[in-house]
Amino acid sequence: MADTAAQSGETLLFLTDEQLRKGIEAMFFAYRGFTADPDRILEKYAYGRAHHRAIHFIHRQPGLTVTALLAVLGVTKQSLNRVLRTLIADGLVENRVGRKDKRERHLFLTETGAALERELSEAQRGRMRAAYRNAGPQAVAGFRQVLEAMMDPEMRRHYQMLRDGP
């Protein structure tokens, strides 16, 4: 029993390069699976993952400013503007002028955008729900700890704000 735990890395204070390589490969393949269902949905609209990320975070924080979305996504202004122009032109996102600062643009999903967000999220929630159920509560908590530990400090702050709410 102790050998099995030691081999899996559960009791080690360090991991071998081989164990780390296996973890990296698992992340690559898991990400591929995690994005596969939304990618098929996005393809119908000629959208990519950048559109999906923008839709996701606008949904999570209605009224999010373009500047805040830039910080969360970590993309260039030019790249985000291209994505937002498409989403706005297609009627999925609307931007409203700030009430306090007229220079600010606040982003909101339209009903059509919210419907697409639900479709994309449900596909991912289904996959996550099944994986979490299969792994069990301890594994879920451990997985979340590992993901949080891998985040850069600034991204961790954004994540924690979203997780904990306003």
Helix (H, G, I), strand (E, B) or coil at 90: coil
pLDDT band at 160 (very low <50, low <70, confident <90, very high): confident
Among 94, 92, 70, 96, smallest CA distance to 81 is for: 70
CA 110 to chain centre: 20
Please report, as a single letter, which amino acid is at residue 108.
F
Q: What is the pLDDT of residue 121?
A: 96
CA distance 122 to 124: 5
Number of H helices, E strands in the chain: 8, 3
Q: Specify the pTM.
A: 0.82
- Count CB-CB contacts under 10 A for residue 35: 16
* pLDDT tens-digit series, residues 8-30: 555 556 788 898 899 999 999 99
Cα-Cα-Cα-Cα dihedral sign, residues 83, 84, 88, 94: positive
